[in-house]
Structures are given as structure tokens and as C-alpha cells.
Amino acid sequence: MRDTPSTITAEQVREILGAFRDPYLEQDFAEVARVRDVEISEGPDGASVSCEVVLGYPAEGVRADWEARLAAQLTESAQVAKATVRVTWDIVAQQPQRNLPHLAEVRNIIAVASGKGGVGKSTTAVNLALALAAEGAKVGLLDADIYGPSQGVMLGIEAGRRPEIRDGKLFVPIKAHGIQAMSMSMLVDEDTPMVWRGPMVSSALQQLLTQTAWNDLDYLIVDMPPGTGDIQLTLSQRIPVSGAVIVTTPQDIALIDAVKGIEMFRKVEVPVLGIIENMSVHVCSACGHVEHLFGEGGGARVAERYGTVLLGALPLSLAIREQTDAGRPTVVAEPDGAATALYRDVARYLAARLAARSGGAATAGPRIAFIDD
């Protein structure tokens, strides 16, 4: 039996854990997370430490790994014989642009936008929403493409299904794959065209957003129509948006339009949380050959130019298209697949970037307890 070391203090526990580097924010936990509920009990071989580390974003996919690594950091100290670290999260509402009031039951609205069509924005939006849910968040998805709504099909909601009406004035969102969803496709027949002028479309978007009975959402993902027109202006000027994500491909023409989207959000004071480069690379299913069909590195260059980040690069994949068309997006269809791992990594990065706007973690102070054996 070794000599009994001196007692480790709660402050030392916080210091050790605070040195852990958050790979998404590139900051130490001392700056972006909080350690609370520290319990220290003394034994003949050293202290047993139990505590909780609170993040400001959901991280189910890395929780077990981080808990093991944080516990190992503690037991590397000669004073700690055993350590148990629980990683949790507390997602708070971020201040939207122009101090607009938050929607009831919605903490954060994230707009997923693109400067042009055909870049896979809607596929990215639905998988991003499902990835955030898989990471442990409460998520909603609003299809803001009034002219060409597609999220009903992508989520596998049968044609003709209508949302319930509450109190004669509120739509109850339809639940699919664990998230709450609303789309114009759930209110009209799928073959009915929306032959509306801009003001009518803007009014419809506001009604869909504000007259839907969202229930306790950490994030509401808004799948925007392509471009920088009436709907984009309505969303950015009248609706409390916590941040925006730009989806593009590496293709030069797509990047030109992505820049327009970034500039639009900057002008209306909506922070751009990052860029997602879709169809970044194609991997041949027969031989495994990797080819950059639409160019390489464009998303990263635009992100650097505009002071934001590349949240991730997603592959060009037949399976992703087939799964989404079948109403079972990739995150649901292949929960352990490589593409799903990419979507979930992007989701964590995005949520971490949003949380960093308020310092990253819950504001509750630590509770410290000492237990003598």
C-alpha cells in the first residue's frame, strides 16, 4: 500500500479537467465548459472523484470517449485513485439578430441556406436536424420552401397527412424519426402549385413558423429556399434567427452564389456559423477510387475569406439520395454508417459554434461535496 497522498481539492479537479481541449471550439474546457457536482471521498490509496462536465451543445456521439479521457486525466494525478466523469449539456437560447423576441418553445432557430439550387441543401438540412436529435437535442424542422416543399417526402410522411389543429388556430407539428416537422406540403396536395406573389409567400412563412405549436425545442432547423429573395429577407428581418449555415458545392458557380448568401446574412446581422461543402468527393463503389468531381477546397477558401469555418465536407453518394427519396434519410437509414458519422460531426461542430456565442456552457455554478469514508 502506498502512502496516503495529500487531499486533492475541487479547485484542482476543475483545473485538471479545464485543460481538456474542445476539438470543435479549439479552446480549453476551462473556457467553454463547466465542472459541477464535484464529490471527493478519501481512501487509503487516494481520492475517488466524481463530477459532471456541462457543455453548451449536445455531444452524444463523443460522450463516452470524452468521459473516459477526462477520467484518465484525473487519475494521472497521484492524488486520484478513481475518477468518474459525466458529460452532459445544457442548451440555452442565443440572442437573435436585432434583439427580436424568441418564439415560445424554441430556443434557437438555425437557417440552412444556399445561394443556388441543386447543391443538396434540403438533404443536408434534414440529415442535420436528425443528427442533432441523435446527439441528444430536441429538434424541429420547418420547410420554408413554399414553392417547392420537399421535407414531407424526405421524412417519409405519407401524402395527404395533415397536422392536427389545436385551439382552432395552431398547427401541431407532425413527428417523424424523433423530430417535429412542418411544411407547406402537409397543408396542400403535393401536385398543387403555389402560384403566389412574394408578399403572400412571406406571409405564409410567418404563419407556418408562428402558428405551429412547437414543443420545447433546442433547435429549429429552417430549410430555406435557394437564393436571396423575399423569404430570405422575411426570415432575417422578422424572425429571430440565432445563426445561419450555408450549403454549397466546391463548384465555382455554386461558390459565387454561396458568397451572396453569406453577404446577405451579414447585412441583416445574422451570424454565419459555417459552411457545409456538399458533394465534396465521390468514392467509387466498385473500386474505391476517390475523385473530386466538382473541384476541391472551395468551401474552405470561402470560409477563410469571410471569417467563418468549414463545418464539414459531405460526399456525393447515390445511397444518400436513395435513402432520402425513400423517406428514411441517411442518419436514420444507416445510424452507424460513415456518412452518418460525418453528419453528426457537422452537427456537433455547428451546435458548438452556436453555443460559443454565449461562452459555451450552462451558467449554473458548481456544487462541491466532500465525503469521508
My answer on whether 104 and 17 are in the same domain is no
My answer on whether 289 and 274 are in the same domain is yes
My answer on whether 82 and 133 are in the same domain is no
The residue whose grid cell reads 451558467 is 363
Q: For position 15, which CATH number holds?
A: 3.30.300.130
* 78 CB-contact burial (10 Å; exposed 0-12 / middle 13-18 / buried 19+): exposed
- 337/115 Cα distance (integer angstroms): 29
Domain-located, residue 343: no
Q: Structural domain tally of the chain? A: 2
My answer on whether 178 and 197 are in the same domain is yes
Domain-located, residue 344: no
DSSP alpha helices (H): ranges in the chain?
Answer: 10-18, 29-32, 60-75, 121-134, 151-154, 198-210, 230-238, 252-267, 298-305, 318-325, 330-333, 338-355
Q: For position 246, which CATH number holds?
A: 3.40.50.300
Domain-located, residue 345: no
* Torsion angle of the four alpha carbons 184, 188, 189, 192, in this order, in degrees rounded to the nearest 10: -80
My answer on whether 279 and 299 are in the same domain is yes
Domain-located, residue 346: no
My answer on whether 35 and 145 are in the same domain is no
Q: Would the pTM of this model clear 0.75, i.e. be above it? A: yes
Domain-located, residue 268: yes
My answer on whether 295 and 218 are in the same domain is yes
Give the count of beta carbons closer than 10 Å to the beta carbon of residue 131.
28
pLDDT per residue of the chain (373 residues) written in tens, 0 to 9: 445 556 889 999 999 999 999 999 999 999 999 999 999 998 888 899 999 999 999 999 999 999 999 999 999 987 899 999 999 999 999 989 888 899 989 999 999 998 777 788 999 999 999 999 999 999 999 998 877 788 989 999 988 888 899 988 899 999 999 999 998 878 766 666 555 666 677 777 888 888 999 999 999 999 988 776 777 777 777 889 999 999 988 877 777 888 888 888 888 889 999 999 988 776 666 676 676 666 567 788 888 888 899 999 998 888 898 999 999 999 999 999 999 999 999 999 999 999 998 765 544 333 333 344 3
My answer on whether 133 and 39 are in the same domain is no
My answer on whether 178 and 310 are in the same domain is yes
Domain-located, residue 287: yes
My answer on whether 32 and 113 are in the same domain is no
Domain-located, residue 351: no
The CA-based angle 332-105-275, given to 5 degrees, is 50
**Parent domain of 68:** 10-90+359-372
Domain-located, residue 349: no
The pLDDT score that the predictor gives to residue 260 is: 85
CB-based contact 1:45 (threshold 8 Å): yes
My answer on whether 105 and 190 are in the same domain is yes
Phi, psi of 81 (to 5 degrees): -90, -35
My answer on whether 199 and 232 are in the same domain is yes
